[in-house]
Structure 1
Amino acid sequence: MQLVDFDFKLPDSAIALRPASPRDSARLLEVKAGEPLADRHVRDLPDRLRAGDILVLNDTRVIPARLKGARLRGDNQTQVEATLHRRLGQDAWSAFMRPGKRLTPGDRIVFAPLYPEAVLPGPLEANIRAKGEGGEIDLVFDLSGAALDTAIAAHGAMPLPPYIAAKRGEDERDRADYQTVYAAEDGSVAAPTAGLHFTPELFARLAERGVEMAFVTLHVGAGTFLPVKTEDLSEHRMHAEWGEIDAATAQRLTAARAAGRRVIAVGTTSLRLLESAADEAGVIHPFCDETAIFITPGYRFRAVDGLMTNFHLPKSTLFMLVSAFAGYGAMREAYAHAIAAGYRFYSYGDASLLWSAA
């Protein structure tokens, strides 16, 4: 299939700039082969699941990864902006930077605090170590480990997706809104957005229903926002992201599916990690590595029966993934219905509950 096969027209008015409140009041479109599309709400999720189902959630925490500062080269200064993408070490990050073409290895970057009047732990400065073919820039900071994390938190802003940031600035509300209530492991520069709909009350009702939870970690990189630039999808290369599934969770999920119980991924990040860890027989193995899995129609899913996910960009790798999972025709129909029915799209938007077409 070609890139154009995943295009569709979306009105700007469909892009959600703020989340639903309360979180579980967002709409939920259920898509199941052989059944009509069903308009529901996230709070209805316990009624759509059954005892013994396992929801797999990504417990990554979004860091304030968007930094502004200046490139110093002699007496010259150029304003720059960096979005941290992937941690390379205790003192190093890969980042996407603007204006990237003007930056070269050896340049010194001094980042400005988000709130100049705040009491800060110290300056945040780095040297450019290298530039990658994909536009990434490797930054080596003067600080390391926990001290670097603290400085980034003090200097950085939440990295809102470009389609939101183009319409409004980040504010204090986003520090809470753009984070799941169960976030635990620092490292993402984008939220696992399907998880934003969950509340403590919804978790309690799911537990009463007999639905179980399992937590995995995949640190979402800024590459999730990059457009596909090749018309031939076989030529597209995903940016790698780091993930982990511990041995106990892997064994529990494999045993559940072997017993005929359903595994439902909350978000495409959870799904991509589970599929990266599963072998051809569907056994999910412990995983602690990077994954660059790219899922398009024709892929045979091995580890997941259901998927809860938000509505994605035209021509995006995530729309390709959901088309592979629930069926290309079914997702074209579902997205057309969602647009006509006024569903809210993208990170702060509504959700869908998809069942495998296999």
Structure 2
Amino acid sequence: MSMLEVSDLKVTYRNGKNGSDIPAVRGVSFALDGGQTLGLAGESGSGKSTMALSLLRLLPASARISGEVRFQGEDVLTASWSRLRAVRWAQASVVFQGAMSALNPVQTIGDQICEPIVLHEKVGRRVARARATELLDSVGVPARRLGSYPHEFSGGQRQRIMIAMALACRPDLIIADEPTTALDVMVQAQILQLLSDLVRERNIGVIMISHDLSVLSQMCDRLAVMYAGKMVETGPSTELFGDPRHPYTRALGRAFPTIGDPASRRAPAGLPGDPPNLSQLGEGCAFAPRCPEAADACRTRPVELWPSGPGRHAACLRVLPDFQAEPAGLTVSEGSEK
């Protein structure tokens, strides 16, 4: 049994404006063991953060979650609130994307780091403060700043403090939502090395969300690319972006400029059109209206993750051995191109 097992996870937001539900996550399944890192890539609105936060039931009341999320053998989605509070921070923690909104502006950072340690480990303030000092040093924030407030730090420093808080109770799972967004290159390398060391030394599992493909390929063992609430390709990180099997993965890779290649830097390839309206999805592939390789069958035939190589899966009809490509139709919906 894996440390984390997710089966047919679905998240739907209730839309009070017009009464239509929005399926933000549509049947996601994966497993994660201790010592492994899983990276999530995709455009904004593809469902990455919603999927990750649903693992600890951190979504607003307007979200309906179904499926199964087993963490260390226990179904998180059916656990009581008291049990869920015991799991959060102590066994699984989150590095939120917006550090300023996640930190309490009227508490010192020392108090905020010490709070989960005192609560979950039942230790005194002196022990907790010593741990907080070590944690700040490990993420590159001077320990003498324990008595400072969040507004007294730069954006990058606040992000490092969030990482220190996530590590406070030595969790088995860390969900990192854009953990290096506000960091400069040198500090980013330090934080990624810190997370890599924790994975190796303490056998923790990490789910990392990022728009930076270089960060994901450097940090993660496996990658999952999401589009319109579904995983459209999964596999080992180096193989997935080195030899993508799904057209959307190829488009993401082309949009990232290659260092030392003037052509890609001056004219990075983009992806025409916009992500689909999740409340108006059809039967076929959600990516078909934007796909440069779409065939007629792509717009009508349901797709799922099919094997596309050793340890790899892709939700594309073209990976099927019996797929016969018809002449491609319109590749971009009329009026959708920016």
Higher normalized helix content (fraction of residues): 2
Q: Which has the higher contact order (CA 8 A, sep 6+)?
A: 1
TM-score by length of 1: 0.25
TM-score by length of 2: 0.26
Higher normalized strand content (fraction of residues): 1
